[in-house]
Amino acid sequence: MALLIQKGWLHDHGVVDILIRDGRIAEIGPDLVLDDETDPERLDASGLAVVPGLVNGHTHAAMTLFRGYGDDMHLLEWLEKRIWPAEAKLTEEDVYWGTKLACLEMIRSGTVSFQDMYWHFHGMARAVEEMGVRAGVGAVMIDVAGPDQAEQCKRDAEQMLEESSRYSDRVRFVLTPHAIYTVSPESLRWVAEFSEKNDLLTHIHLSETPTEVSQCLEQHGVRPALHLDNCGLLTPRALLAHGVHLEEDELDLIAKRGSTIVTNPVSNMKLAVGGVFPYSKAAERGIPMALGTDGAASNNSLDLFQDLKVFALIQKHADQDPTALPATDAWPVVTGAKAPLLGQSGVVAEGEKADLLLIRREEIEVTPQHDFVSNMVYVATGQVVDSTIVDGKILMRHREIAGEEEIRREASERARVICGG
């Protein structure tokens, strides 16, 4: 199946056609002349910009069901009184519809790939498969209940890895131990060994709050990044979510090990985690980085464009330097160009994955076009996305997505039943 994007505006190239074959960009050029055997689907991009799709490095997709449920509460109270009781009721079908709602929101706001951490693997995987996006989904490990729970998590991970072969390569099986304070050192070492044996990405929360740091020092005698390294999990396959409270020696170690950090500035601000991710120090060390929304229960949006602006501004504020994290450096972070582990190049070029957005570059909010990238970082929201393409397939055409009303209706009803609304 071929797709021809016609008369799209490509930054630094001007108006071009883009031919896509088998999920890859085959050819880029003005007024492409196709051979007689090529009969592609056509997508008119007149007046639209073509950009790489956005990459959400950390979220909990099905928590769309809890959007607005328990806002403005202290973290522990929020978890104990709202989130944990609601999550205890979740079925695989609930997660399936909650994840479909998340995918719908992400497609509408330009996200083509995300890394998830949640329960009910097959519910997540089915939703991702049907919605057409890319995602890393896997087996959450928490063993605070003791050895029996740990053994069950291990068996689940082994089974899910085997069963993941039923899905396309857009669904990537990853290991998702929750955090160093909910997973024992013994289980973390097992995850490290299983990851190495099967070449699997590991996705874990790290250094999100001061309490996590103090507890780690008290229990293990070292700060969180060093503890994770002692367990064998600080590797080039590791995705570290948050990283707010990392010190210089921890950043040195993360850089040495080649792990990737995902910053989640909006969620961190909303939950008042007491710090700002040290972007400048991480960038100086060449640490791979991505941007994440976290879950819709703690953000409450999955619109990465909105998080992108906050990401850039909070770094300027923290450094007291308006030149910190300029738009030209922030944009590659949100498109995945700074995090090779996530599988997106962040580049529109021949041979690259056809995971693209068409942007309404003449909308009032992004006019005038003094600087396109600046407008994408400091002005744009997901509403500027006209069309979304993943693996060469059109998931949203001119703001229309098939099945939207059914997803909205089913997810709303399930959220009402679970949360008692």
Q: What is the DSSP letter of 361?
A: T
Q: Which residues pair with 171 in a beta bridge?
A: 135
Q: Per-residue pLDDT for 144 more than 70?
A: yes
**pTM, rounded to two decimals:** 0.97
Full set of structural domains in the chain with CATH: 2-52+348-400 (2.30.40.10), 54-342 (3.20.20.140)
pLDDT one-digit tens code per residue, 272-288: 999 999 999 999 999 99
pLDDT one-digit tens code per residue, 284-338: 999 999 999 999 999 999 999 999 999 999 999 999 999 999 999 999 999 999 9
Q: Per-residue pLDDT for 79 more than 90?
A: no
Q: Per-residue pLDDT for 76 more than 90?
A: no
Q: CA geometry: angle at 129 spanning 420 and 196, to 5°?
A: 100
pLDDT one-digit tens code per residue, 179-217: 999 999 999 999 999 999 999 999 999 999 999 999 999
Please, what's the b/e burial string for 271-308 (b: 16 or more CB within 10 A of its CB; e: otherwise)?
bebebbbbbebbbeeebbbbbbbbbbbbbbbbbbbbbb
Q: Which residues pair with 139 in a beta bridge?
A: 175
The whole-angstrom separation of Cα 35 and Cα 32 is 10
